[in-house]
Amino acid sequence: MRLGAYDCELVEGSLAYRIYGKKRIAERHRHRYEFNNSYRQVLVDAGLEISGVNPENDLVEIVEISDHPWFLACQFHPEFRSRPMAPHPLFESFVGACMKQAKRLK
């Protein structure tokens, strides 16, 4: 069981890096699941970008698809650090991307 905050190193130039504006973050976990590193290279070869990794045990924390308007998936729980008047950076970025996309479709 992974409980509490774990470090995550972000890949410079990735969407996650642009959202957080720094190389290392710490986010809260509460789960028993992990990214299966046996499939890591297969997924990368298919176009999935690994943009955040726990440096201690090489676990994938964030993945992205760069040619999508906004595709980011994370292993942690950003809602644990989000408040109505202080949204988590991932939520703020996602809503902003939705608004931008909506304007394009008008």
Could you give the CA distance from residue 2 to residue 34 in angstroms, rounded to a whole number? 9
Owner of token pair 């308007």: 69
Q: Interior CA angle at 43 toward 37 and 44, to 5°?
A: 100
Q: Indicate the number of domains in the chain.
A: 1
Report the pLDDT averaged over residues 97-103: 94
Residue 44 sits in a domain whose CATH number is 3.40.50.880
Q: Whole domain around residue 100: which residue ranges? A: 2-105
pLDDT in tens, 10-67: 999 999 999 999 999 999 999 888 999 999 999 999 999 999 999 999 999 999 999 9
Query: Does 1 have pLDDT greater than 90?
Result: no
- What per-residue confidence (pLDDT) applies to 33? 87
Prediction pTM value:
0.93
Could you give the CA distance from residue 103 to residue 88 in angstroms, rounded to a whole number? 23
Tell which residue, 55, 57, 59, has the closest CA to residue 36.
Answer: 59
Q: In what order do the strands lie in the sheet with 49-54?
A: 24-31, 2-10, 49-54, 59-64, 72-74
